[in-house]
Structure 1
Amino acid sequence: MIEPSTQPSKWQIPFFTIWTGQAFSLIGSRAAQFALVWWLTDLTGSATILATASLVALIPEILLGPIAGAYVDRWNRRIVMIAADTLVALASLWLAITFWTGSVQIWHIYAIMLVRAVGGSFHWPAMQASTSLMVPKEQLSRVAGLNQTLNGMLNIAGPPLGALLMEMLPLHGVMAVDVGTALLAILPLFFVLIPQPIPARVDASQKPSIWTDIRAGLRYIWGWPGLVVLIGTAMVIKIALTPAFSLLPLLVKAHFEGDAARLSLLEAITGVGIVAGGIALSMWGGFKRKIYTVMIGIGVLGLSFILLSQTPADMFGMALGCFLVAGIMIPLVDGPIMAILQGTVAPEIQGRVFTMMSSLLWFTSPFSLAIAGPVTDWLGIQVWYLMAGLLCAGMGLVGFFVPPLMNIEENANGQSTLAEAVGSASPEPVCVQIE
């Protein structure tokens, strides 16, 4: 069993043992997801079908997020990740069987996306909260950049791998590969210990209910004005960007008259941008005020979508350039935000804070997806990309004139707010085992 070291210089082995297994699993999942989305696109050619698939995947994130986060803060996070990965692997195995027997239907795809989302609702906060306990605080920005680089590499490797697997294997074979890579994520978790935080000391007779824990998380967020504004800004942007990315296969097929190879190329070039942005963030670290990096990234991301919306059908190369720029901006937005939160939010409440934020952000997505499908079927796919670009560019600019947002790091919530939220006057120090 690999135990996390108390020495800052020896945190890499346990952390990256888990991280590597998760990376292999994500590669398989990304390839399988590409294959399933293209299967739906090729079979139906409907924006409404694609939007519905995305909507189904969001339901657990919205409804289960706060509850999952509260339980993640109570349970052993390593066990949570093992259970979540196992659930996803079993679901992929079931779908492989339906493809193999020729009994697959569209609702089966919806079902697998729903189950994957349930697993992710528990796995994501468990992994993020574990990261802040396994990685020294001064290294969190670098790890955030590394995670963004991985995300970019997944965009590069996932779609081409998915397209290649579709050429070499039937769909049940592609799903079998996904099951195999999921096992690579589960295995390391049996051999690596993950430190657990010691929560605030509370009398056993007054142990809070799960709903009390959830309310404590909401109070924690509400007591941080900059975070409230940031979440509100992100919710508005999500309204536009969620359909924009969900309907990308239709943009390739309907506007650029492309095939799976072109879609994989577009997603791969986005991945190249994310890798470049992640490497830049790891080396540069962003502006001294991390929020400046975030808002500039949002603005430039919006400009790239505006240009994309005006790209003629015969200029696919320009579209590649737009997605390259968008990819570079993604780590510059996501990385600093996660570094701010992992470095300032108390570890014993991180599961709740992360999942509540995620649920609030995705709360608007079902409405935007419900509207985007019919609107793009009626007005054309490019209209939505223009709207998304204008909204992002505007929010990126306006954000610089909102003091709570610009001062989010200086006014970060702390242990005193946590103590007030959970009703403990004197919370115990968090046991992180890594200084």
Structure 2
Amino acid sequence: MDGTSVKLRRATYHLWTFTASKLIGSFGAQIYSFAISFYILQLTGSATSFAANLICSILPRTLLGPFAGYVADTYSRKRVVITAQVVSTAAIIVLMGISILYGLSLPAIYGTTVVLSIASTFSGVAFTSSITGLVDEDRVQRAMSMNQMSISLSAIASPAVGGLLYGFVDMPVFLMLYAGASLLAVLLESTMDFTLFAVRAEKAEGAPKEKMLDSMKAGVAYARLQPLLMAMIWVALLVNFLFGAVSVGYSFILIEKLKILPEHFGLIEGATAVGALLMSVYLAARKPFKSPLLVSKWGILGLGIQMSLLALPLLILLPYGGMFGYYAILALISGSVIPLINTPLQVYMMKLIEDDYKGRVFSILETMAMALMPLGMVLFGFLYDVLPAPWILFGSSILLILTVFVLLRASVLKSVSEPAVSLPVETAADQ
């Protein structure tokens, strides 16, 4: 058997091991999130306490994204992933010990959420940067699709499993199950070769490591030299900000304005995960798109149109069953559009960005995407209190569509067919 065949067999093993690891980790994390959210609300009855836990999850990811990118590009990505997963496991075990000895408290929960968020940030950036090292180029899209499948399956199953377990087992048992799932993910990841197909620049023996600040500057400079990357960074920033109109308004409109029952609201949300799962299965089976950015562009435009459609039952009187069916179908379509946007975009970026810069560029994208989310939630929360919901959704929809037409205009997409601009491997201080 020749070396190429051995590598391809190994890549197939990586494909399934990667998927299993992500499924186990995502499933455990979502069940934990479900249980902790329920526990906080039962313990305090306060939406503020619940929101504080969300902030403890979002803020570290936003602040530490650039550092995670530097670490992923400077050190062994496999070591970063495994270390982060071990830290997550240890944090859950410590919280389990506290719950057995003293009982759970809000400071202990918040502290654990911060640690888990930090570990997830480093692990996520390192894992994403390693996809092209784990599998061959022809199966990058399949790997990204199977990752989305894992997330969607977890989103569908975890509320049901979490609700069942929460009614029958104590919190320490919940935490023990999560710790066990996290440990199993560590064992799976330890068997993978993260450099099977990687092409990282060779560094001279004993050469000093680039300083963190210089390394971050080099990552920003690399992105700035590629107009397409900068366009995608701005799209991510503005789309996530404008989508705050949906994040804040979705539950407000369905539950408060239209009086959708909680069990039906849960089914509508489940339809989103089902749509994402079906589209991910399709993307995993089909060949890579010839024009991935064009597919993503039209997907974002579709999402902008769906944003305005959310307001339609506020303007046109529908029977209860009609409203439920309308939003369930809209959720199914919306869920299917999200992988259609993300997967081609991520596959293209995997191939565009040099391996030595992947960690920093992906961390910049994640940081920028999340940077305006808290501001967007606060702003749209205020707007929903003072303006009619249809105005907000229609206005945000128009701005989102204009953003895509301006930032991903034909002249920018044309640069896809041109060679990518590369930045020499040097410190920003040398420029």
State whether TM-score is above 0.5. Answer: yes
Moved more, 391-400 or 126-135: 391-400
In the alignment, residue 300 of structure 1 is paired with which amino acid?
A: G
CA contact (8 A) 1:299 1:394 kept: no
Q: TM-score, normalised by structure 2?
A: 0.84
Identify if the C-alpha distance between structure 1 residues 19 and 150 changes in structure 2 by more than 3 Å, giving closer, same or farther: closer
Q: TM-score, normalised by structure 1?
A: 0.83
Aligned match of 2:425 in 406, 419, 422? 419
Distance 1:86 1:394 in 2: 44
In the other structure, the counterpart of 1:407 is: 414
Identify if the C-alpha distance between structure 1 residues 393 and 32 changes in structure 2 by more than 3 Å, giving closer, same or farther: farther
In the other structure, the counterpart of 2:369 is: 361
Distance 2:101 2:391 in 1: 40
Distance 1:324 1:390 in 2: 22
In the other structure, the counterpart of 2:349 is: 341
CA contact (8 A) 2:247 2:377 kept: no
CA contact (8 A) 1:252 1:262 kept: no
Aligned match of 2:281 in 258, 279, 282? 279
Give 1:223 shift: 0.6
Identify if the C-alpha distance between structure 1 residues 226 and 98 changes in structure 2 by more than 3 Å, giving closer, same or farther: same
In the other structure, the counterpart of 1:227 is: 229
After superposition, the C-alpha distances for 1:11-64 in whole angstroms (9 at most, x for unaligned) are: 111342243123112111112223333555677777665554433322222221
In the other structure, the counterpart of 1:213 is: 215
Aligned match of 1:327 in 330, 335, 344? 335
Q: Unmatched 5+ residue regions in structure 1?
A: 426-435
Distance 1:174 1:251 in 2: 33
User: Across the two proteins, how many residue pairs are aligned to each other?
Assistant: 421
In the alignment, residue 410 of structure 1 is paired with which amino acid?
A: S
Give 1:283 shift: 3.7
Give 1:280 shift: 2.7
Structure scoring higher RCO (CA < 8 A, sep ≥ 6) equals 1
Identify if the C-alpha distance between structure 1 residues 18 and 143 changes in structure 2 by more than 3 Å, giving closer, same or farther: closer
Give 1:220 shift: 0.8
CA contact (8 A) 1:311 1:319 kept: no
After superposition, the C-alpha distances for 1:347-374 in whole angstroms (9 at most, x for unaligned) are: 1221111112211221112322343445
In the other structure, the counterpart of 2:184 is: 184
Distance 1:377 1:360 in 2: 27
Tell me whether 1:72 sits opposite 2:72 in the alignment.
yes
In the alignment, residue 7 of structure 2 is paired with which amino acid?
A: Q
CA contact (8 A) 2:219 2:360 kept: yes
Distance 1:242 1:28 in 2: 27
SS of equivalent to 1:173: helix
SS of equivalent to 1:160: helix
Distance 1:251 1:41 in 2: 22
Tell me whether 1:316 sits opposite 2:324 in the alignment.
yes
Distance 1:64 1:18 in 2: 24
Output aligned runs, 1:355-394, within 5 Å.
Answer: 355-376=363-384, 388-394=396-402
Moved more, 389-398 or 174-183: 389-398
In the other structure, the counterpart of 1:134 is: 134
In the alignment, residue 324 of structure 2 is paired with which amino acid?
A: F
Identify if the C-alpha distance between structure 1 residues 151 and 190 changes in structure 2 by more than 3 Å, giving closer, same or farther: closer
In the alignment, residue 237 of structure 2 is paired with which amino acid?
A: M
After superposition, the C-alpha distances for 1:185-209 in whole angstroms (9 at most, x for unaligned) are: 0112333332265434358566421
Output aligned runs, 1:255-266, within 5 Å.
Answer: 255=257, 257=259, 261-266=263-268
CA contact (8 A) 2:62 2:370 kept: yes
Tell me whether 1:302 sits opposite 2:304 in the alignment.
yes
In the other structure, the counterpart of 1:116 is: 116
SS of equivalent to 2:293: helix
CA contact (8 A) 1:4 1:194 kept: no
In the alignment, residue 270 of structure 1 is paired with which amino acid?
A: T
CA contact (8 A) 2:248 2:380 kept: no
Give 1:226 shift: 1.1
Moved more, 240-249 or 217-226: 240-249
Distance 1:246 1:40 in 2: 20
After superposition, the C-alpha distances for 1:273-295 in whole angstroms (9 at most, x for unaligned) are: 00122123234456521111111
After superposition, the C-alpha distances for 1:297-324 in whole angstroms (9 at most, x for unaligned) are: 1111122232223435942332222211
CA contact (8 A) 2:264 2:324 kept: no
- Seq. identity, %: 21
CA contact (8 A) 1:160 1:268 kept: no
Distance 1:319 1:72 in 2: 41
